[in-house]
Structure 1
Amino acid sequence: MGIFDALNTSVGGLQAQSFALQNISGNIANASTTGYKGIGTSFVDLIPDSTTPARQVAGGVTAFAQQTITTQGTVSASTVATNMAINGDGFFSVQKASSVVDNVPVFSGVTDYTRRGDFQVNANGNLINGAGYYLMGVTVDPKTGNPTGNVPQVLQFQNNFIPAQATTAVQYAANLPTQPKTPASTTAAAGTLTAAGGINPSDFASNPLPIGSPAPPVDAFITGAVVNNQATPAAPITAATELSGTAPSDSLAAGFASGDSITIDTSPATTITFVTSGATGNQLNITDNVGALLNKISAITGASASVSGGQITLHTGTGQDLKITANTPNATTALAGLGFGAGTPPITKARAAGTNVGTGAVTGNDLTAFTNESISGGAVTAYNAAGTPVNLQLRWAKTDSATLGAGHQDTWNLFYQTSTTATGTQTAWVNVGTNFVFGANGALTSPSGSAITIPNVSVDGQALGGLTFNVASGALTQFASSAGAATINTITQNGFAAGQLQSVAVGNNGLVVGTFSNGQNINLAQVTLSHFNGTNYLKALDGGAYEVTDLSGPAIIGASGKITGSSLEGSNTDIADEFTKLIVTQQAYSANTKVITTANSMVQDLLNVLR
């Protein structure tokens, strides 16, 4: 009986090796199949029952398939935006259509699982892989970005439409120059707010500072009566009036002498020195006329002196106090001769409170002054509730400067354009109503929060409503800039017009992102992954899909693997390993045939005994 058992065992060996060869051939054939998981062969010996170990024989063999589903394939880049690969544990949930009715797939409701991620969008907006399986996932609300459920469904993105979203917030980041270079600053007198790049409310018929804010002080001034030795009351000053000279010329009784000097203190202070001849810069000849002295003082204060009826009035042109100090006794006498006080210098006149309370608006009449005394703050396209685009223009105006001395700090106001066609007293620009104050280190010190609210924004009749102006910590600064203009780092908003879906792509986080005709990229769905406790006990189906079995256990939503977009997982087949197995299988198969040949020869010998 042993010889015949050997024959049967060898036949079993041939069958087992044939089974192994079939698996090897299948693995080699699918070496380039996306997401393919090779099938190995497990050999199991079949030992016949024996009463004692001493009579036990080797027995036969059978072969079983051994899955390698948990073995990762190589991930490579793909040019298709909807392709995806799984790095690590996990499966895509898919369904296969049981039929198609009116070009619409009908599903049986049975969910299968695959790692084949070569999905592409079909005419119906479904994502289908190369084996015909439809991708499942959880849809995402396009406005909130939150999942609309937790049970995966077959995804479809046909004719997706998103309604318009009104702008409610503007994100802003910029650097404002310490010294803005405005058209007005290049012509303004030194030491004035305008020269420092600021805005002078006195240049406006309607005070553009925030609504209800106190009007800036009016400019300080000094008034004096001209005294001469010719007539009483004093004759009006003319261009021929001398600073010094002898009667009966129209001159002062006591003039300035060479070496005299006076200081005009409007922060910063400037000294005027008198010389015999050849005056340059802030010098005057003692033979110059009164008009030359007044012009020199006006250039320093930034406001022209006025002369009327023998009266001289000097102005600062700003809200600063005006102080004139004589630095020599003779200069003191000369100032008194001009009628500016007979007492001991300095001559000081404090600024007075203004009467033009802030309206927070720039009218059409004041557009030129506003443009000349402010700098651009950038622009952004915002959207109203109907999705109508609105060009929101911004400008910055410096309302105070630390360079003006004690009591001053770098302060800015932000304006937005409410009308592009305003004329006369119509409002063209609106002050948002917040003082942006910066410290000496260029950091924003006020407001302290990260956002302000701009109420009732409207541009050319298009209402945007209240807008939140967001400035993150450190996003708005005031550092020196050679250009003297605002450097806009970020200016974005959260609104958009209505749009139609143009294309979809899958990101590395498994989110399906739709690109719409309005330029928006909106999250549409979340691709879910599932895993199994007994992964290698799944039943393989055609097309790289797997079916749940009792040994695999049910699918568990969620997996440790990560989805990589625009990528594909290749086959985990190792050609070199398969070729090695092929050689071993061939040799084993041949060896079994040799056993059969040998057993057959032995049987023939046994039969020959009977002859």
Structure 2
Amino acid sequence: MGIFDALTTAVGGLQAQSFSLQNISGNIANASTVGYKGINTSFEDLIPDATTPSRQVSGGVTAYAQATISTSGTVSASTVATNMAINGDGFFSVQASTGTVDNQPVFSGITDYTRAGDFQVNANGNLVNGAGYYLMGVTVDSKTGNPTGNVPQVLQFQNNFVPAQATSSIQYAANLPTVPATTASTTAAAGTITGYGGLNTADFTQNPLVLGTPATPFGDNAVTGSAALNQAATPGPITAATLLSGTAPSNSLTSSFVAGNTITVDGQVINFVNTGSTAGTTAVGVTPINIDISDTVGTLLGKIAAITGVAPTINASTGAITLHTGTAANLSVASNNASAFGALGFPTTMTAARTGGGGIGTGFVIGNDLTAFNNESISGGAVTGYNAAGTPVNVQLRWVKSDSAALGSPHQDTWNLFYQTDPTATGTQVGWVNVGQNFTFNSNGSLSSPSGTAITIPGVTVSGQSLGNVSFNLGSNGLTQFASTGGTATINTIQQNGYAAGQLQSVAINNNGLVVGTFSNGQNLDLASVTLSHFNGTNYLQALNGEAYAPTEQSGAAIAGASGTISGSSLEGSNTDIADQFTKLIVTQQAYSANTKVITTANDMVQSLLAVLR
């Protein structure tokens, strides 16, 4: 070893520091490069052989690159929906295009890896980052969200078209009032289901409750008039002037009927005639039905009894008359003589509904019964559904309270749900269909039946469009019956899973690493899953142009999956620390200058040696 070895070592030092300067320069230049991983310089000494340690001298130096690929850069938000960053371990799988054929990129099939997530959609529907690498991933089924394979492919979303999906389920949550505010309830008789806001099957030509529900037998309903003026209230002999006058006080009136007066009971007309004797009175069933004005109130009430099937009664003390509906039909009474009929204690016209209902439940509301149905039901909301071809249909829902615990045991709060099948139904055409389920509630407002979280509505058809069987999902505590001041249903959720066909409008990447497409039908559907890979020897990957890396023997092959997670609308910046690089730059500059000083000194010593020869 000697002066010339010192010159050689100093030259090696210059080369090593130049190598370091080159790395520092590259790091600083790429301080703003997305996903860039800086390269540090590692120096190693080169020791010449020596026979003994005491004769060993310090050797030269060489420089090596030290990758920092495993060190993450800062993640920041981006306004581009297809930008993404990896938090933690992992790399995006990408391929570089080797050319184009028919305006479509051609690939070599070699997969590279990068953390530069500045991907954007190009004209062909590929996701390409700023360095020109094409993103790879696994496509997923847009309806189920399940992967369609497990081998990553170059993703392309050009003109994606999603077919229509028929409505197969409705998600529903609502609170039904304990007492619904229906139109009929304001005029209904107290103590009836209608009076509690419910549906009275007697008002329908077909019982619309659950198909096959045993009918509640019709029952008689009584209506009592006001106290009638009778002969007992006006002492004196009964004369011809007090017509329809029998024995006081219960069968005589102080008012007169005259010939030509009529009383119509359930459509049958009773005519008043004046023949001078009761011989002019005819029996019910004989046309016409006549009663002589000289006959008694009892005779008139007997005729009414023959029509309704139940005899009216008279309060012997007050003369108040009680009429009955019977079970055959609702009672309807009218008179063309307001004064005389008023003497009986009733207005000119009077109606009363029988109790109960007739007929087994049909589960349908026909056109003839639409008015009664609307009056005795409340809205349950509406949702737009779709058939298999994507045709939209308006699914209207209405609730009816078919039983009320307020009526006493064994009654319980029960509701029925209907959907509108034909908005234009008339006559015997079906307008609304009962879903076929009794919804019953406990006293605390919780649903007691059905016990599950969903029922199936069979064969749903709306305006001629078939949706098939539809699942009506209530979830946990989705349907309740709590008191409501408004008496209306409070709809918390009403959603369905169908949609029309649609074409892809835009794509975005979410935080689950899924490529989500927004379609013209308003649907946001998963299109692909971005796959991540990792390496056992991450820092031994071979760097490529454009922040990409290729596997080496030292890095090992790519391993599918990674512990890192994807952040959508984000970018990972360079991991270069400018302050650290400037510090290293100063050290490198000083070391480089020191090596030049060694060369100058060695040169002076050589010159001195050469001077000896002179």
Distance 1:127 1:151 in 2: 17
1:296-326: CA deviation from partner (whole Å, max 9, x where unpaired)? xxxxxxxx99986977335699xxxxxxxxx
Equivalent runs, 1:432-443 vs 2, <5 Å: 432-443=435-446
Equivalent runs, 1:397-412 vs 2, <5 Å: 397-412=400-415
Distance 2:554 2:166 in 1: 54
Distance 2:45 2:451 in 1: 80
Q: Against the structure 1 CA distance between its residues 591 and 409, is the aligned structure 2 distance closer, same or farther, given a 3 Å change threshold?
A: same
Q: What secondary structure, in the 3-state scheme, does the structure 2 residue paired with 1:185 have? A: helix
Q: What secondary structure, in the 3-state scheme, does the structure 2 residue paired with 1:202 have? A: helix
Q: In the alignment, is the contact (CA less than 8 A) between 1:305 and 1:312 conserved in 2? A: no
In the TM superposition, residue 581 of structure 1 has moved relative to its aligned partner by 0.6
1:125-151: CA deviation from partner (whole Å, max 9, x where unpaired)? 100000000000011112221111111
Distance 1:565 1:147 in 2: 20
In the TM superposition, residue 8 of structure 1 has moved relative to its aligned partner by 0.8
Q: What secondary structure, in the 3-state scheme, does the structure 2 residue paired with 1:138 have? A: strand
Q: Against the structure 1 CA distance between its residues 493 and 481, is the aligned structure 2 distance closer, same or farther, given a 3 Å change threshold?
A: same
In the TM superposition, residue 218 of structure 1 has moved relative to its aligned partner by 1.8
Distance 2:75 2:355 in 1: 78
Q: What secondary structure, in the 3-state scheme, does the structure 2 residue paired with 1:584 have? A: helix
| Residue equivalent to 1:417 | 420
Distance 1:202 1:91 in 2: 73
Give the gaps of 5 or more residues in structure 2: 239-244, 252-307, 315-320, 328-343, 345-353
In the TM superposition, residue 243 of structure 1 has moved relative to its aligned partner by 9.1
Percent identical: 73
Q: 2:54 aligned with 1:79, yes or no?
A: no
Structure 1 range deviating more: 24-33 or 490-499: 490-499
Distance 1:314 1:125 in 2: 79
Q: Against the structure 1 CA distance between its residues 373 and 12, is the aligned structure 2 distance closer, same or farther, given a 3 Å change threshold?
A: same
Q: What secondary structure, in the 3-state scheme, does the structure 2 residue paired with 1:147 have? A: coil
In the TM superposition, residue 571 of structure 1 has moved relative to its aligned partner by 0.5
| Residue equivalent to 1:581 | 584
Distance 2:223 2:395 in 1: 47
In the TM superposition, residue 466 of structure 1 has moved relative to its aligned partner by 1.3
Q: In the alignment, is the contact (CA less than 8 A) between 2:230 and 2:250 conserved in 1? A: no
Q: Against the structure 1 CA distance between its residues 213 and 247, is the aligned structure 2 distance closer, same or farther, given a 3 Å change threshold?
A: farther
| Residue equivalent to 2:49 | 49
Distance 2:235 2:75 in 1: 104
Q: Against the structure 1 CA distance between its residues 107 and 119, is the aligned structure 2 distance closer, same or farther, given a 3 Å change threshold?
A: same
Q: 2:243 aligned with 1:240, yes or no?
A: no
Q: Against the structure 1 CA distance between its residues 405 and 247, is the aligned structure 2 distance closer, same or farther, given a 3 Å change threshold?
A: farther
Distance 2:559 2:235 in 1: 112
| Residue equivalent to 1:365 | 368
Distance 2:565 2:535 in 1: 16
Q: 2:573 aligned with 1:570, yes or no?
A: yes
1:151-195: CA deviation from partner (whole Å, max 9, x where unpaired)? 101001111111111111111111111111122222323333222
Q: What secondary structure, in the 3-state scheme, does the structure 2 residue paired with 1:581 have? A: helix
Of 323, 339, 342, 1:313 maps to: 323
Matched letter for residue 110 of structure 1: I
Distance 1:128 1:143 in 2: 26
In the TM superposition, residue 386 of structure 1 has moved relative to its aligned partner by 1.0
1:511-539: CA deviation from partner (whole Å, max 9, x where unpaired)? 11111111111111110000000000000
Q: 2:492 aligned with 1:489, yes or no?
A: yes
Moved over 6 A (4+): 242-245, 304-307
Distance 1:37 1:371 in 2: 71
| Residue equivalent to 1:103 | 103
Q: What secondary structure, in the 3-state scheme, does the structure 2 residue paired with 1:592 have? A: helix
Q: In the alignment, is the contact (CA less than 8 A) between 2:309 and 2:326 conserved in 1? A: no
Q: In the alignment, is the contact (CA less than 8 A) between 1:93 and 1:528 conserved in 2? A: yes
Q: In the alignment, is the contact (CA less than 8 A) between 1:245 and 1:252 conserved in 2? A: no
Of 507, 510, 515, 1:512 maps to: 515
Distance 1:217 1:59 in 2: 114
Distance 1:550 1:460 in 2: 68
Q: In the alignment, is the contact (CA less than 8 A) between 2:441 and 2:449 conserved in 1? A: yes
Q: What secondary structure, in the 3-state scheme, does the structure 1 residue paired with 2:207 have? A: coil
Distance 1:248 1:567 in 2: 107
Q: Against the structure 1 CA distance between its residues 554 and 223, is the aligned structure 2 distance closer, same or farther, given a 3 Å change threshold?
A: closer
Root-mean-square deviation over aligned CA pairs: 2.6
Q: What secondary structure, in the 3-state scheme, does the structure 1 residue paired with 2:186 have? A: coil
TM-score (norm 2): 0.81
Matched letter for residue 364 of structure 1: G
In the TM superposition, residue 582 of structure 1 has moved relative to its aligned partner by 0.7
| Residue equivalent to 2:201 | 201
Q: Against the structure 1 CA distance between its residues 246 and 9, is the aligned structure 2 distance closer, same or farther, given a 3 Å change threshold?
A: farther
In the TM superposition, residue 473 of structure 1 has moved relative to its aligned partner by 1.4
Q: Against the structure 1 CA distance between its residues 242 and 206, is the aligned structure 2 distance closer, same or farther, given a 3 Å change threshold?
A: farther
Q: Against the structure 1 CA distance between its residues 30 and 352, is the aligned structure 2 distance closer, same or farther, given a 3 Å change threshold?
A: closer
TM-score (norm 1): 0.81
In the TM superposition, residue 425 of structure 1 has moved relative to its aligned partner by 1.4
Q: In the alignment, is the contact (CA less than 8 A) between 1:501 and 1:514 conserved in 2? A: yes
Q: Against the structure 1 CA distance between its residues 387 and 352, is the aligned structure 2 distance closer, same or farther, given a 3 Å change threshold?
A: closer
Distance 1:479 1:454 in 2: 25
| Residue equivalent to 2:154 | 154
Give the gaps of 5 or more residues in structure 1: 227-236, 255-303, 318-337, 339-350
Q: 2:120 aligned with 1:131, yes or no?
A: no
1:37-73: CA deviation from partner (whole Å, max 9, x where unpaired)? 0010010111111111111111000000000000011
Q: What secondary structure, in the 3-state scheme, does the structure 1 residue paired with 2:195 have? A: coil
Q: Against the structure 1 CA distance between its residues 422 and 592, is the aligned structure 2 distance closer, same or farther, given a 3 Å change threshold?
A: same
Distance 1:129 1:242 in 2: 107
Q: 2:123 aligned with 1:120, yes or no?
A: no
Equivalent runs, 1:198-597 vs 2, <5 Å: 198-221=198-221, 239-241=228-230, 252=249, 312-314=322-324, 354-597=357-600
Q: What secondary structure, in the 3-state scheme, does the structure 2 residue paired with 1:559 have? A: coil
Distance 1:473 1:170 in 2: 14
Distance 2:15 2:568 in 1: 44
Q: In the alignment, is the contact (CA less than 8 A) between 1:415 and 1:431 conserved in 2? A: yes
Matched letter for residue 595 of structure 2: N
Distance 2:200 2:594 in 1: 105
Q: Against the structure 1 CA distance between its residues 238 and 482, is the aligned structure 2 distance closer, same or farther, given a 3 Å change threshold?
A: closer
